[in-house]
DNA sequence: ATCATAGTCGTCTCCCTGACGATAAACACT
DNA sequence: AGTGTTTATCGTCAGGGAGACGACTATGAT
């Protein structure tokens, strides 16, 4: 028995992406410039319609690949490919959040290692990594003097929620390693925490904590001096996903 | 300029509710019996279509009121009305999760104090509080010998995610008080933790922890003996929403 | 050679937690 | 009235983890 389509209002469903990475000691998000109305010319989060035969997670992974070329890290195959972490964030469906029609957007959060350069359909000027505090600042100007209008739609809210999720989740999970290349040093991992939280951490206590948590880090045997100073051991992310006890975020 | 509706596939958007409460020392969820196909006669989570002019949170609050009579606790007016806690849980949109059509369901989690009796459109036999482990058990029989088929659609997955959210969230927030009446004792709060986590907690250490955390509990001055034994102090939930350091869930 | 930089190992103290003894105040029996 | 049971509440003690910070190591830059 077919269902009566007049019994419910039709919605458009999209996925929007909060793609975070750490560049030059600051937490950055991927923003794309809108080519069409509404909010034409303004920066927005990448996203698009969910297709008829597509899962929500599939749609998010497809959009992520289209915008960045990143593949999604398979949770079943831990920590070897160069893929990103992807998880559902929240869903935004206020009537009027899109002036054209009723749109429900399922936002996703992606965490990626530092990437060479963004690409949005091949046009680099229409996509960029921007520090999140710059994207969330109201009525201000970016580094190049270009006015940084608030993000289109309710994307400032979505970005803010995504950043908050990332900040809290690296406390009790090993997710911070998703910001690192496959092999990394303790200091590089610490700088990830410092950039995401916006605080300074004691290198000695941090080193003790992460190397003392079983399953968090696995030494690869190699060393590197790419950060300068004394050579540092290289590690891979271990199998542990939950940190117990958690990493403590300093007060305020 | 109107938008081209042929550019995207139409979806139906619903809200489904995981309504949790603690009854007789066990964590229970609200289930309603389906009156129509598909899954006719099977138990499901309460829910319904989002209306054209309605916010997602509004739709969830409306469904909650329709099913239980509960109003939603206003986060701005802390802890005085008898309302429930309501928050968005996650969104489920697999193609084929509803055989009739493409439906995206925005699941919400509600936590409520123990209630007299459920009501589903006035028909009590079509709604009940069931222990979650009973609803999540496959191929088994309930207390009354009635077969407890798995929940309809993907609702077992949704319920499982909601329970997991509640279990982890009472660790680091004061959310467990949402399961309690406006005034409650430390022992009653402890029994909430024990029911949700399914563990036994040391009453002395629990008492020290909750009374020693600033802003968690506010004594009302009254006492009660409704649990038997020595009279216990009555408390209200304090203003603090985050518990730092968190309540520790015992190992395994 | 000296300095700056980053990494790594230790130490000390404080606080929180788990384990558990002891006392207090109600009720239900006899 | 006394005794047992139940629940609440206070105290004590040992161990683990975190913050603060000293000390030493191994590179490259000047």
What's the 3-state SS for chain B? CCCCHHHCCCEEEEEEEEEEEEECCEEEEEEEECCCCCCCCCEECCEEECCCCCCHHHHHHHHHHHHHCCCECCCCCCCCCCCEEEEEEEEECCCCCCCCCCEEEEEEEEECCCCCCCCCCCCHHHEEEEEHHHHHCCCEECCCCCEECCCCCCHHHHHHHHHHHHHHHHHHECHHHHHCCCCECHHHHHHHHHHHHCCCCCHHHHHHHHHHCCCCEEEEEEEECCCCCCCEEEEEECCCCECCCCCCCCCC
- Give me the pLDDT at residue A82, please: 64
Rg of chain A over Cα atoms, rounded to whole angstroms, equals 20
Mean pLDDT of A71-93: 78
Partner B contacted by A10 (CB < 8 A): yes
Query: A107-116, A141-150, A203-212, B208-217: which range is least confident on average?
Result: A141-150
Distance CA B8, CA B13 (A): 15
Mean pLDDT of B131-152: 77
- Give me the pLDDT at residue A212, please: 97
- Given a cut of 80, is residue A4 above it in pLDDT? no
Confidence of residue B4 (pLDDT cuts 50, 70, 90): low
Strand pairing class (A217-224; A232-237): antiparallel
Q: Is the CB of B208 under 7 A from strand D?
A: yes
pLDDT over 90, % of chain B: 76
Q: Which of B37, B50, B93 sits opposite A106 (nearest CB)?
A: B93
- Per the structure block, which two tokens stand in for B57? 């949170």
Is residue A139 within 8 Å of residue A151, measured between CB atoms?
no
Angstroms from B243 CA to nearest CA on chain A = 13
Within a 13 Å sphere around the CA of B64, how many CA atoms are in the beta-carbon half?
27
- Give me the pLDDT at residue A2, please: 46
Q: Most A CBs within 10 Å: which of B7, B12, B60, B86, as the mutation test of the A interface? A: B12
Distance CA A213, CA A209 (A): 6
- Write out residues 166-225 of A within 8 Å (CB-CB) of B: none
Confidence of residue B83 (pLDDT cuts 50, 70, 90): confident
- Given a cut of 90, is residue B82 above it in pLDDT? no
**A10/B95 Cβ within 8 A:** no
Query: Which of A198, A194, A235, A233 minimizes the C-alpha distance to A218?
Result: A235
Residues of B in contact with A3 (CB under 8 A): 100-101
- Given a cut of 90, is residue B7 above it in pLDDT? no
Angstroms from B64 CA to nearest CA on chain A = 18
- Give me the pLDDT at residue A202, please: 98
- Per the structure block, which two tokens stand in for A49? 């319609």
For residues B119 and B164, the model is more confident at B164
**A7/B11 Cβ within 8 A:** no
Angstroms from B38 CA to nearest CA on chain A = 10
Partner A contacted by B141 (CB < 8 A): no
Confidence of residue A71 (pLDDT cuts 50, 70, 90): confident
Confidence of residue B1 (pLDDT cuts 50, 70, 90): very low
Angstroms from A12 CA to nearest CA on chain B = 6
Partner B contacted by A15 (CB < 8 A): no
- Give me the pLDDT at residue B55, please: 97
Distance CA B23, CA B114 (A): 6
Q: What is the pLDDT of residues A93-124, one digit of tens each?
A: 999 999 999 999 999 999 999 876 666 555 65
- Given a cut of 70, is residue B209 above it in pLDDT? yes
Distance CA B188, CA B175 (A): 14
Q: What is the pLDDT of residues A18-50, one digit of tens each?
A: 999 999 999 999 999 999 889 999 999 999 999
Task: Compute the mean pLDDT over every residue in chain A, rounded to the nearest whole number.
Answer: 90
Confidence of residue B74 (pLDDT cuts 50, 70, 90): low
Phi, psi of A67, rounded to the nearest 5 degrees:
-85, -30
Partner B contacted by A100 (CB < 8 A): yes
Q: Which of A9, A51, A100 sits opposite B52 (nearest CB)?
A: A9
- Given a cut of 70, is residue B11 above it in pLDDT? yes
Mean pLDDT of B208-219: 97
Q: What is the pLDDT of residues A222-250, one digit of tens each?
A: 999 999 899 999 999 999 999 999 999 99
Partner B contacted by A233 (CB < 8 A): no
Q: State which nucleotides on strand C lie below 7 Å from a protein beta carbon.
A: 4-11, 16-22, 24-27
**B7/A11 Cβ within 8 A:** no
Mean pLDDT of B22-38: 94
Mean pLDDT of B182-195: 98
Angstroms from A2 CA to nearest CA on chain B = 7
pTM, two decimal places:
0.93
Q: Most A CBs within 10 Å: which of B3, B109, B247, as the mutation test of the A interface? A: B3
- Give me the pLDDT at residue B13, please: 98
Rg of chain B over Cα atoms, rounded to whole angstroms, equals 20
Distance CA A44, CA A195 (A): 22
Is residue B193 within 8 Å of residue B217, measured between CB atoms?
no
Partner A contacted by B95 (CB < 8 A): yes
- Per the structure block, which two tokens stand in for A2? 């077919």
- Given a cut of 50, is residue A1 above it in pLDDT? no
A101 → chain B, closest CA residue = B3
User: Residue B199: which residues within 8 A CB-CB, separation 6 or more?
Assistant: B249, B250
Residues of B in contact with A94 (CB under 8 A): 55-56
For residues B119 and A96, the model is more confident at A96
Q: How long is the CA A208 to C1' C9 vector, in angstroms?
A: 9
**B53/A95 Cβ within 8 A:** yes
Q: How long is the CA A133 to C1' C6 vector, in angstroms?
A: 28
Residues of A in contact with B106 (CB under 8 A): 91, 93, 104
Phi, psi of B235, rounded to the nearest 5 degrees:
-130, 155
CA angle B7, A103, A53 (to 5 degrees): 55
pLDDT over 70, % of chain B: 86
- Give me the pLDDT at residue A94, please: 98
Distance CA B48, CA B136 (A): 22
For residues B51 and B73, the model is more confident at B51
């Amino acid at each position: 028995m077919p269902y009566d389509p007049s019994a419910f209002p039709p919605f458009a469903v999209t996925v929007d992406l909060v793609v975070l990475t750490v560049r030059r000691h600051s937490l950055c998000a991927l923003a794309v410039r809108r080519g069409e109305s509404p909010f034409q010319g303004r920066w927005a989060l990448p996203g698009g319609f969910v297709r008829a035969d597509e899962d929500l997670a599939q749609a998010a992974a497809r959009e992520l690949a289209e915008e960045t070329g990143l593949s999604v890290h398979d949770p079943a195959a831990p920590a070897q490919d160069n893929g990103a972490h992807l998880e559902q964030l929240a869903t935004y469906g206020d009537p009027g959040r899109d002036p054209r029609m009723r749109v429900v957007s399922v936002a996703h959060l992606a965490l990626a290692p530092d990437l060479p350069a963004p690409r949005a359909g091949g046009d680099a000027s229409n996509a960029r990594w921007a520090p999140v505090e710059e994207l969330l600042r109201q009525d201000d100007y970016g580094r190049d003097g270009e006015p940084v209008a608030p993000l289109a739609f309710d994307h400032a809210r979505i970005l803010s929620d995504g950043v908050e999720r990332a900040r809290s989740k690296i406390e009790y999970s090993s997710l911070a390693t998703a910001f690192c290349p496959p092999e990394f040093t303790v200091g590089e991992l610490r700088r990830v925490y410092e950039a995401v939280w916006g605080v300074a951490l004691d290198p000695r206590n941090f080193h003790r904590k992460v190397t003392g948590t079983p399953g968090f880090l696995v030494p690869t045997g190699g060393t590197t001096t790419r950060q300068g100073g004394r050579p540092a051991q290289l590690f891979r992310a271990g199998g542990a996903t939950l940190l117990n006890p958690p990493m403590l975020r300093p007060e305020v």
